[in-house]
């Protein structure tokens, strides 16, 4: 008796397929044929698309936001430095006066520039700055992370100007620092671009 009641209930819920707008679905077979250049039984060998690691993008965005916030804080013993950044057209540099701590002003300025540089798919694990007072040369040793999707040699001209050019222009154009040259290395080896 309970079975009959359940069947009646279920039967009342099911309407005619044509009335309800639900069509019966039957499996269909694809009739697409491979292109003449592809052999049968093989998949297309087009470019494989890989998605960027969102963690690296979040870390870079956070680092950039912190660097921009550092510009707003006036240090206890400040010194004015002209920061050179590449313009939007990739043609020249625009200057922006900033305040950095007098103690280690050059190192703080380099750290600020490095923190603000965001190059897609290039992840730096760090860098080292050294100054040779005999030749008035600053050497910046860049260290690309082992899991970086790009290397320094893959930088476009604009990316080189944004990263390396901004560092070079900023360091050379500070009269108090008396820097005559800036060289770049990649894990201790001369950087050739």
Give the closest residue to 177 by CA, choosing from 168, 190, 165. Answer: 168
pLDDT tens sequence across 174-191: 999 999 999 999 999 999
- pLDDT class of 118 with cuts at 50, 70, 90: confident
Predicted model pTM: 0.63
* Both structure tokens of 87: 């313009």
Which own/partner pairs from 124-128 qualify as long-range (CB within 8 Å, at least 24 positions apart)? 124/148
Mean pLDDT for all residues in the chain? 75
Is residue 128 scored above 60 in pLDDT?
Answer: yes
Assess whether pLDDT exceeds 90 at residue 72: no
pLDDT at 32 over 50: no
Q: Alpha carbon 31 to chain centroid distance?
A: 42
CA dihedral 86, 170, 191, 122 (to 10 degrees): -50
- Give the up-direction half-sphere exposure of residue 39: CA atoms within 13 A in the CB hemisphere: 2
């Amino acid at each position: 008796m309970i079975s009959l009641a359940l069947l009646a209930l279920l039967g009342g819920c099911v309407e005619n397929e044509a009335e309800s707008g639900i069509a019966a679905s039957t499996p269909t077979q694809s009739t697409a044929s491979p292109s003449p250049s592809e052999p049968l039984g093989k998949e297309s060998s087009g470019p494989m698309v890989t998605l960027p690691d969102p963690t690296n993008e979040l870390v870079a965005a956070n680092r950039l936001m912190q660097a921009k916030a550092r510009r707003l804080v006036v240090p206890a013993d400040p010194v004015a430095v002209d920061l050179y950044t590449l313009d939007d057209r990739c043609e020249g540099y625009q200057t922006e006066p900033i305040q950095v701590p007098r103690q280690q002003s050059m190192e703080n300025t380099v750290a600020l520039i490095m923190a603000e540089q965001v190059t897609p798919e290039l992840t730096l694990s760090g860098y080292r700055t050294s100054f040779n007072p005999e030749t008035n040369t600053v050497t910046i040793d860049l260290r690309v992370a082992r899991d970086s999707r790009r290397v320094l040699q893959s930088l476009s001209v604009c990316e080189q100007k944004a990263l390396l050019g901004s560092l070079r222009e900023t360091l050379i154009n500070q009269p108090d620092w008396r820097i005559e040259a800036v060289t770049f290395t990649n894990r201790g080896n001369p950087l050739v671009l």
